[in-house]
Amino acid sequence: NNLKAVSSFEKIDPLVYESISIKNEVVLEDPTEKGLRKILNFGHTLGHAIESYYLESDDDKMLLHGEAIAAGMVLEAWLSHQLHGLPSKDLEDIKNTFLQRYPKILFSKQDIEQIIDLLKFDKKNAYGQINFVLLRAIGDPVLDVQIKGNLLQRAFAYYSE
């Protein structure tokens, strides 16, 4: 939480450093989010719903933004695998990378139902549709994907394994 304590960004987790560098390049190329910048939303649709749920929850559960987005990325990677053929190896790499850095969030059935309900308030929605950024492969995004049926519940089941 204290960026002043970081004397050099190269000393932080290499994954975080690389992520910041990529994000910076994308934002410089598309500062008004007209196209390319949408790729940065991968994991954020579910991640923001998870974060909002825990912020509004009466529980004493504290959840950091990064933890929520990491969970969202694992969930959306599973959706990517199901809908757009993200290779199993990439899916497992994403899951393992984040679960090595962040504790697994334990979701109850009620948590999941309420998180899914919160998706309708996402700022990326258009015309009443919930839009996700999914992946065909790492670095190969698919924009504005709508999810139907019970895939969201199944994504949470995968995450919880």
| DSSP track, 77-111 | HHHHHHHH---HHHHHHHHHHHHHHSPPP---HHH
Per-residue pLDDT reduced to its tens digit, 19-70: 777 777 877 877 877 777 777 789 999 999 999 999 988 777 788 999 999 9
Q: How many CB atoms lie within 10 A of CB 22?
A: 13
Is residue 152's pLDDT more than 50? yes
- Cα 139 to chain centroid distance, Å, stands at 14
Does residue 1 surpass a pLDDT of 50?
no
Q: Is residue 94 predicted with pLDDT exceeding 80?
A: yes
| Neighbour tally for 89: CB within 10 Å | 9
For range 151-158, the mean pLDDT: 97
58: which residues sit within 8 A by CB, 6+ positions away?
none
Maximum Cα–Cα distance for the chain, whole Å? 48
Task: Please provide residue 34's backbone torsions phi and psi, each rounded to the nearest 5 degrees.
Answer: -90, -20
Q: What pLDDT is stored for residue 43 in this prediction?
A: 94
With beta carbons less than 8 A apart as the criterion, state whether 29 and 36 touch.
Answer: yes
Structure tokens at 89: 């190896």
Shortest CA distance to 74 belongs to which of 56, 57, 87, 93? 93
For the cut 60, the answer to whether the pLDDT of residue 13 exceeds it is yes
pLDDT in tens, 102-135: 999 999 999 999 999 999 887 777 777 889 999 9
CA–CA distance from 151 to each of 83, 124, 146 (Å)?
10, 19, 11
Average pLDDT over residues 72-97: 97
Indicate the CATH number for domain 42-160.
1.20.1090.10
Task: Delimit the domains of the chain by residue range.
Answer: 11-39, 42-160
In this predicted structure, what is the pLDDT of residue 54?
A: 93
